[in-house]
Amino acid sequence: MCKTSCFLPRKLARDRRLWYDGDDLLANRVKNMQDIRLLALDMDGTVLDDDKNISPRTAAALQAAIDRGVLVVPATGRTAEGIPPQFLSLRGLRWALTSNGASVVELGSGRSLVHLPFTLEMALAVYDIVDRYESLLSVFIGGHGYTRDGGEVLEQYAPPNLWPYLRASRRAVRDMRGLMRQNPNAVEKFSILYKDVSTRDAARDAVLAQFPDIEVADSLGGNLELTAPGVDKGRGLLELARALGIDPAQVMACGDSGNDTAMLRAAGLGVAMANAQDEVKAAADYITLSNNEDGVAAAVERFVLDAL
């Protein structure tokens, strides 16, 4: 843990970003930044602690940012209906980036601002590939998650801290291909859990062998997330910023997993959690404390609230 700062300074120049060795350089960097107008936040492993809760300090920091006019947006691999109620209880939320950037919707009305789904033909072909491997497979359509398996099956694949979320956010269907045909060009994401990494890797390689441009990501061990070619959280975030007239330089993003990497690169200020995967830390401008140590709150307090 950092003793005097919530950030772990690193020596690395990348694109238009620069890691700094000292706090004075960090302060100058923040002083010269444009004001943050949009704050995009991953949920699991970032805003949420390991028990899937939002700490009082984090909730207070996010509410203070909203009250000062900053757009706070959940940027998650989850569906819209899977966003935690604790997060939705914040006053003044309007937009949600979901399904790893394949969808941006207006909370409350459900109005779609960004929609970047698979074509029906590709969705059916991808499903046929991944269906050959034993897994807990979910398909995201229209803000909902669909699976063929019940609660007793999910316990074989998912860690216990995800059971409540999966039970609350999955709808059982018998005919997945039929569902996709009834909703043509609407599949936002495939979210798949495997019992072991070797099976996950075999399924991933089979998908990429037929569709090398498909977007592949993960958010935990044994997990595989598939979105249409060119669609990731970074793309969704830039589409949202463009629609709202916000310069990407005025966007801050926080994340921890592989599906957050593109988002941290797209944002003017990318912040990785201390618990983040190495590739995410390498893509970030700064590294804050872990999700169990109020890392999001520390970053928001420093880069948003102290700067306003």
Q: State residue 282's pLDDT score.
A: 96
The pLDDT-based confidence of 21 (bands split at 50, 70, 90) is very low
Phi, psi (5° rounding) for residue 65?
Answer: -65, -45
- pLDDT score for 3: 29
- Is residue 10 over pLDDT 50? no
The mean per-residue pLDDT over the stretch 173-189 comes to: 96
- Rounded Cα distance between 3 and 116, Å, is 43
How are beta strands 187-193 and 136-141 bridged, if at all?
Answer: antiparallel
Q: What is the mean pLDDT of residues 183-206?
A: 96
Taking residues 91-103, what's their average pLDDT?
Answer: 97
Q: CA of 86: how far to CAs of 56, 60, 74, 110, 143, in Å?
A: 10, 12, 12, 19, 18
Say if CB 101 and CB 226 are below 8 A apart: no
Q: For position 34, what pLDDT does the model report?
A: 61
Instruction: Tell me where in the chain the CATH 3.40.50.1000 domain(s) lie.
Output: 14-115+232-305
Does position 15 have pLDDT exceeding 70, yes or no? no
pLDDT: which is higher, 24 or 256: 256
Q: What is the percentage of the chain residues whose pLDDT exceeds 90?
A: 76
Would you state the CATH architecture of domain 120-227? 2-Layer Sandwich (3.30)
Q: In whole angstroms, what is the distance from residue 215 CA to residue 42 CA?
A: 18
Q: Would you state the CATH architecture of domain 14-115+232-305?
A: 3-Layer(aba) Sandwich (3.40)
By the 8 A CB rule, do 37 and 70 touch?
Answer: yes
Summary mean pLDDT of the chain: 88
Partners of 141 in beta bridges: 144, 187
Number of H helices, E strands in the chain: 12, 16
- Please report the pLDDT score of residue 5 as a whole number: 38
Per residue in 135-174, pLDDT tens? 999 999 999 999 987 656 777 888 888 888 888 889 999 9
> Both tokens of residue 295?
């890392």
Q: Where in the chain is the domain with CATH 3.30.1240.10?
A: 120-227
In this prediction, residue 8 carries a pLDDT of 44
